[in-house]
Structure 1
Amino acid sequence: MCVNYHTPTREQFGTLGAFSDLPADWRWPDEVWKDYLAPIIRSGRDGLPEPCLASYGIVPRRHIPPGVKPFDTMNARAESLGERRSFAPSWRRLQLCAVPMAWFYEPCYESGRAQRHAIGMQDDSLFFVAGLWREWSEADGSMTSSFTQITINADDHPLMSRMHKPDDEKRSLVVIAPDEVEDWLACRDVEVARSFLRPYPAGRMKDWAAPQTVRKAPVESPNLSLF
């Protein structure tokens, strides 16, 4: 499962449609991990795509009840979207989002041990991954947003089947074609939305060795004023 990816820069994000005028205080890291803030695109109240700064993992760590063993929600399996309590409400309400990326990371075991690989587009272009979002009420009365990425089986995918341990089920993020992003966000039927959850052509993708050089920073509570 993908739990770490590389975000577009603020300048790159400005090239994705009409999103050049982001709030001046929006900040996000180059590499995103659980509970880090990152930009997503979702459908606004007017039905048009809008940017949002949200935390990675649809159930933020701070909202896991005391006494409950911590669990991860960075990835949502397409096969059980309507069943898992963490994801089903957002799926049924069609709270869909598109997560912009430069590339994402997966472990490759072809050498006999885990090696971190980056996976992106052949032409080095930015791309979007299908996801879900939800809102949370915070203790100070503010509202924040969070998101997850949707994954599908990739046992037969020429590139993604090379990732993860040999005996593990192969999974892949759902890459949304650039000309389908607005249609994905505008879905008003879960079966129509499900039709977008399909493999992306391996010939348009590439991977390369990417040893981890950036230390994962400790997570602090998000700056709620950003939302």
Structure 2
Amino acid sequence: MCSNYQAVSTTERLRLYFGVDAPPPQVKSDVWPLYEAPFIRRHPNKDVGDEAVPPREVMSGLFGLVPFWAGEIKYGRRTYNARTETVAELPSFREPWAKAQHCIVPVEWIYEPDHRSGTPIPTRIQRKDGKPMGIAGLWTSNRKATGSEVFSFTMLTVNAKDHELFRLYHRLEDEKRMVVILREDQYDAWLDAPASRSMDFMQQYPAHLLMATPEPERGKRKKNEVPPPASPDLLG
């Protein structure tokens, strides 16, 4: 499961690789659960025939889906990933899944913990070609928690027990999971797909197109450095 990633945060890369022209939200690029980060969805007015309306729009939302009925924002601390095996049934995700509220999460790389040495080593996973990853997600909005509209999103995941790369991460006894990384030629199809076709996109991304780089010093506090906010899943 992915609980930490580097968001695509520059206008140039969002325009080049995701086709969104608006400036990105002013958010931190190093993202943890309940941090604000960019996600991309279909513009709600894309079919009105106005050429000024872009087909895609970049939004700012919390990483961790906060369903419309949740009374507290902190609910999203445990819903930043959604298992494709249960997403249609779980109360947290079933409404955005049924309504096909699809989004793309623009990501430079993600971090996963490598426990094989006995000590968890944060490991950066990214595309070999240097392009960002478009991760399939769901978005929603909530007004109950704060009295104003708050957008949030989750990343979809599939089983990775037979994936040559992702099966190496997380604790040895844990189920192996990986986020759903879309191909560029799937972006529009994913954003437009009805709920009946959502599962068609829930596939593993080829391991040979990815690379992993251990970062053993990541997360270690330096002298006089303020620690990051606590999260129950910092290492998966």
Q: What does residue 145 of structure 1 align with?
A: 151
* 1:45 CA drift (Å): 1.4
CA contact (8 A) 2:139 2:153 kept: yes
8 Å contact from structure 2 (residues 2, 179) kept in 1: yes
Q: Which deviates more, 137-146 or 175-184?
A: 137-146
Partner of 2:88: 82
Does structure 1 residue 131 correspond to structure 2 residue 99? no
- Map 1:203-214; keep pairs closer than 5 Å: 203-210=208-215, 211-213=217-219
C-alpha change, 1:217 and 1:10, in structure 2 (3 Å) is farther
* 1:168-179 alignment runs, 5 A limit: 168-179=174-185
Whole-angstrom distance in 1 between the partners of 2:30 and 2:64: 14
Range with bigger deviation, 99-108 or 7-16: 7-16
Determine if the alignment matches structure 1 residue 20 to structure 2 residue 21: yes
Is contact 2:190–2:198 with CA below 8 Å preserved after alignment?
yes
2:118 aligned to which of 102, 112, 123: 112
Matched, 1:197 2:198: no
The gaps in structure 1 that reach 5 residues or longer are 220-227
Q: TM-score, normalised by structure 1?
A: 0.85
What residue is the counterpart of 1:49 in the other structure?
Answer: 56
Counterpart CA distance in 2 for 1:64 and 1:81 is 21
Amino acid at match of 1:109: H
User: Which residue in 2 is equivalent to 1:34?
Assistant: 33
Measured on the aligned residues, the alpha-carbon RMSD in Å equals: 2.5
Query: Is the contact between residue 136 and residue 180 of structure 2 (CA under 8 Å) also seen in structure 1?
Result: yes
CA contact (8 A) 1:138 1:144 kept: no
2:21 and 2:212 map into 1 onto residues whose CA distance is 29
Bigger Cα displacement from structure 2, 150-159 vs 106-115: 106-115
